[in-house]
């Protein structure tokens, strides 16, 4: 593979439109306007789209059978050259579309020049991006599924493992670790739903819109859509060549998915800190320090948290790209590709690594339970107990607050206060209270759908497996 890089001011090979211009393009201008350095990535989709277009032209009597045969033969060779890394990409030929068409024409002559009948690069590039993005979404959906499967496995193993649930990052109430993980399962399920929804709007064919106004040739767009696996055609030619909403939707769904990855990453970083010590993360996801010999740093979760910004950036870049564009196509749209590619790659790598990382997380149930002995996590359970014995909730709240103050002064948990001490706060308290002042007793009571009881978590996991 080569990049042609002529010296400044040097004459450059003729372009498809050079007849209109008197002077050769300057090298910087060429580099600035060219997209081949990055849109080469679309080559397989460009070829796929061109072949479907050529076959339709032939079916509709716009292209001869001999020309179609030459195009198919030439394209097979172009595809081979690209796959083998033998294709000579040229900056002077601007983008992936003109590079491929020029090489095809070198190989098969006039038939290659006829391929662009009833088409423009504007509908061509929109088609390529949609084909590419559809494949990316399908890949990401598979990866998100693997992430969710790992979460389910871990949640199942720890459906009854108690840990502190936090609000304001202060110990709030006991929850099960499985329940906590299932919260992320829900987030990633919504992410998958958003990607699948966005795919429906990606999967429509722009081709046939030509530059902006459609074409004077008697084309059959529906048959091209069917051949390329699109669900239908874009309805309006002006919209079809200029619309990038589908890409923005994809990035919005991706940005939100990264927000979820980032939240989970942040928790892993906290949990691995020895002051929490809730989990161990396998060495292969951590690194040491070049100066502090004792260090084991959770680099992978930190990087996942950090890479979130890239996808947010891509979303903002595309929103900004479209915001003041008049109809129809404008060259601005060439700037859609790098952020899109980067975001799709970041998402794919991140989901892949997250699924692996979850397999390398070892929970430390004893440390989670230990953390529950501080913070009076079952205070709400004592209040609820008093309510069940007829005490109005606001009074119960007050009684328990006083009991917590006493326990705190004594340096004990509520469950460690003797019954007589507790009864000094309310005579309704009896020996049966101790069953629910333990973390296990507390979570066991929350058996409803969406609750943290081991049995409720196991039911949620069973429903989740059925949904996957
Ligand atoms: N490389 C261009 C892009 O990515 C292809 C479309 C060019 N169309 C045009 N009229 N210059 O948008």
Per-residue pLDDT tens over the stretch 60-108: 999 999 999 999 999 999 999 999 999 999 999 999 999 999 999 999 9
List the CATH code of the domain at 372-467.
Answer: 1.10.40.30
Q: What is the pTM of this model?
A: 0.92
35 lines ligand 1 (CB under 6 A): yes
Among candidate residues 26, 4, 24, the one with its CA nearest the CA of residue 15? 24
**Average confidence score pLDDT of the chain:** 95
What is the predicted pLDDT for the residue at 375? 87
| Centroid of ligand 1 to alpha carbon of 169 (angstroms) | 50
Instruction: Please write down the long-range contacts of 373-376, taking CB distance under 8 Å and 24 or more positions apart.
Output: 373/413, 374/171, 374/413, 375/164, 375/170, 375/171, 375/172, 376/171, 376/404, 376/407, 376/408, 376/413, 376/414
Q: Catalytic residue at 265?
A: no
What is the predicted pLDDT for the residue at 2? 45
Per-residue pLDDT tens over the stretch 422-442: 999 999 999 999 999 999 999
List the CATH code of the domain at 134-158+179-369.
Answer: 1.20.200.10
What is the predicted pLDDT for the residue at 261? 98
Q: Catalytic residue at 58?
A: no
Contacts of 190 (CB under 8 A, 6+ apart): none
Whose CA is closest to atom 3 on ligand 1?
Answer: 334
Catalytic residue among 3, 18, 64, 289: 289
CATH, domain 2-7+24-117, list 3.20.20.70, 3.40.50.720, 1.10.275.10, 3.30.420.40: 1.10.275.10
Strands 170-176 and 162-167: antiparallel
Q: Which atom of ligand 1 is nearest to the CA of 211?
A: 10
Residues 399 and 192 sit within 8 Å (Cβ to Cβ):
no
| Centroid of ligand 1 to alpha carbon of 363 (angstroms) | 52
pLDDT value at 11 more than 80: no
42 lines ligand 1 (CB under 6 A): no
Catalytic residue among 64, 168, 415, 427: 168
* Domain edges within the chain: 2-7+24-117, 134-158+179-369, 372-467
159 lines ligand 1 (CB under 6 A): no
| Centroid of ligand 1 to alpha carbon of 211 (angstroms) | 10
Q: Note whether 2-7+24-117 and 134-158+179-369 share their fold.
A: no
Residues 176 and 160 sit within 8 Å (Cβ to Cβ):
yes
95 lines ligand 1 (CB under 6 A): yes
Ligand 1 pocket test: pick from 40, 42, 331 the residue with the most ligand atoms within 8 Å of its Cβ: 331
């Amino acid at each position: 593979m080569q990049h042609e890089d002529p010296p400044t001011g040097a004459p450059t090979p003729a372009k498809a439109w050079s007849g209109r211009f008197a002077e050769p393009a300057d090298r910087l201008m060429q580099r600035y306007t060219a997209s081949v350095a990055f849109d080469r990535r679309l080559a397989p989709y460009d070829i796929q789209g061109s072949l479907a277009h050529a076959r339709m032209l032939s079916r509709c009597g716009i292209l001869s059978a001999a020309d179609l045969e030459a195009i198919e033969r030439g394209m097979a060779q172009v595809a081979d050259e690209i796959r083998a890394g033998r294709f000579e990409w040229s900056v002077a030929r601007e983008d992936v579309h003109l590079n491929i068409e020029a090489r095809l024409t070198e190989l098969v002559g006039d038939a290659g020049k006829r391929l662009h009948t009833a088409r423009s690069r504007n509908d061509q590039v929109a088609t390529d991006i949609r084909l590419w993005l559809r494949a990316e979404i399908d890949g990401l959906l598979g990866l998100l599924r693997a992430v969710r499967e790992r979460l389910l496995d871990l949640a199942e193993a720890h459906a009854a493992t108690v840990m502190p649930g936090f609000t304001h990052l202060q110990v709030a109430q006991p929850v099960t670790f499985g329940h906590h993980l299932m919260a992320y399962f829900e987030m990633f399920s919504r992410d998958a739903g958003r990607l699948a929804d966005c795919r429906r709007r990606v999967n429509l064919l722009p081709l046939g819109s030509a530059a902006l106004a459609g074409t004077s040739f008697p084309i059959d767009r529906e048959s091209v859509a069917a051949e390329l696996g699109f669900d239908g055609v874009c309805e309006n030619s002006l919209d079809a060549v200029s619309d990038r909403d589908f890409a923005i939707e994809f990035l919005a769904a991706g940005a939100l998915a990264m927000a979820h990855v980032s939240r989970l990453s942040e928790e892993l970083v906290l949990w691995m800190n020895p002051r929490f010590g809730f989990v161990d993360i396998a060495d292969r996801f951590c690194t040491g320090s070049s100066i502090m010999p004792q260090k084991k740093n959770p680099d992978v979760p930190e990087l996942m948290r950090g890479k979130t910004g890239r996808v947010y950036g891509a979303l903002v870049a595309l929103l900004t790209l479209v915001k003041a564009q008049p109809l129809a196509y404008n060259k601005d749209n060439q700037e859609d590709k790098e952020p899109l590619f980067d975001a799709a790659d970041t998402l794919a790598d991140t989901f892949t690594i997250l699924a692996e990382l979850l397999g390398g997380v070892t929970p430390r149930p004893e440390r989670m339970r230990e953390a529950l002995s501080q913070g009076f996590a079952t205070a709400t359970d004592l209040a609820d107990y008093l309510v069940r014995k007829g005490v109005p909730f606001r009074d119960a709240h007050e009684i328990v607050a006083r009991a917590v103050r006493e326990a705190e002064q004594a340096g004990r948990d509520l469950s460690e206060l003797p019954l007589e001490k507790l009864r000094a706060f309310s005579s309704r308290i009896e020996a049966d209270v101790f069953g629910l002042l333990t973390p296990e007793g507390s979570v066991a009571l929350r058996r409803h759908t969406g609750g943290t009881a081991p049995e409720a978590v196991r039911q949620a996991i069973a429903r989740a497996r059925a949904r996957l």
